[in-house]
Structure 1
Amino acid sequence: MIGPLFYPFILVAGALQAIGVTMNAALRGALVNPWLAAAVSFLPIVFVFVAMLAIRPVPLPTRDDLAGMPWWAPLGGIAGAVAVFGGLLFVDKVGAGAFNGLLITANLLTSLAIDHFGWLGMPKHRAGKARIAGAGLMVAGIVLIAAF
């Protein structure tokens, strides 16, 4: 059981993602070089997680854990970095609403496919009519946000 703060935490994380993309655009504007801005943006993240590992070093993986890990598992950070870099480059050009709407809609559509087909080791959750209708509403919403 995850507890009562599960959904509020996700909502706060989503709000912070929208704020972070905007902050990163300002960082890129100030530092000019988007690669430098991306590196500066990730430095505090690395510091926080290394500090947390130092404070709470257990559990650590066993050799069996590492041997059983899919080859692609460590690439999740790079996947997230693409979204951060996209924000660095484009949020001020298309607007925070359109950028985050496109990002979240693409995330949702991909997530529905991952759930439906059980890709990347996820349990299968059928993409029924209601889920597909919800995705269609997201697409319609982002079309309205981006167009106006």
Structure 2
Amino acid sequence: MSGKLLYPFILVAGALMAIGVVWNSQLRGALVNPWLAATVSFLPVVFAFALMTLLKPTPLPTRKDLAGVRWWMPLAGLTGAVAVFAGLLFVDKVGAGALNGLLITANLLTSVALDHFGWLGMRQVKAGPPRLIGAALMVGGIVLISVF
């Protein structure tokens, strides 16, 4: 399947991220404790993925697959949790546009570096002038969104 056919799903996921940040902030306001709010926010995710694993248990990893799991790989969820927690604490202070814009811009700049240098096992994609101009436009855009 062409990657471009996945773009609508990715766009919906991005829109839901913006909504999720606001809902998490509201959850924190209702529950008062941000740690409890983060836990409550993640519980449905854990249950949904556990249910999907029970409903569709294959494929399961082999011993060889498990041997390829490095110690840092399971920590990937914590990287997303930092963004969720930032939204939970700060969206009502800086606004949804600024918070999500900063998250997405930092994500994009880091992604361009990961691609350019081939870090973390990524296929190397050089950051030529078009990519660097695109990144600069993102930075300029978030400055405009955050300041105005």
Q: Into which bin does the TM-score normalised by the smaller protein fall? A: over 0.9
Gap change, CA 1:70 and 1:102, over 3 Å in 2: same
Q: Which amino acid aligns with 1:100?
A: N
1:37 aligns with 2:25: no
Q: Distance in 2 between matches of 1:110 and 1:71?
A: 22
- Deviation at 1:3? 6.1
| Cα distance between partner residues in 2 of 1:43 and 1:8 | 27
Determine helix, strand or coil for the equivalent of 1:125.
coil
In 2: Cα distance, 1:132 partner to 1:36 partner: 40
- Residue 18 of structure 1 aligns to a residue whose secondary structure is helix
Give the corresponding residue for 1:21.
21
| TM-score (structure 1 length as normaliser) | 0.97
Q: For residue 75 of structure 1, what is the aligned residue in structure 2?
A: 75
Distance 1:3 1:110 in 2: 21
Amino acid of the structure 1 residue aligned with 2:47: F
Which letter does structure 1 place at the counterpart of 2:96?
Answer: A
Unaligned residue ranges in structure 1 (runs of 5+):
none
1:1-148 equivalence runs, <5 A: 1-2=1-2, 5-148=5-148
CA distance in 2, matches of 1:27, 1:57: 32
Deviation of 1:119 (Å):
1.0
| Cα-to-partner distance string for 1:113-132 (whole Å, 9 max, x where unaligned) | 01111111111111110000
- What is the count of residue pairs matched by the alignment? 148
Q: CA deviation at 1:70?
A: 2.6
Identity %: 72
RMSD: 1.0
- The 4+ residue runs of structure 1 with deviation greater than 4 A are none
SS, match of residue 23 in structure 1: helix
Greater displacement, 66-75 / 124-133:
66-75
| Structure 2: gaps spanning 5 or more residues | none
State the secondary structure of the residue aligned to 2:123: coil
Distance 2:109 2:3 in 1: 27
Output the TM-score relative to the length of structure 2: 0.97
Deviation, 1:5, is 3.6
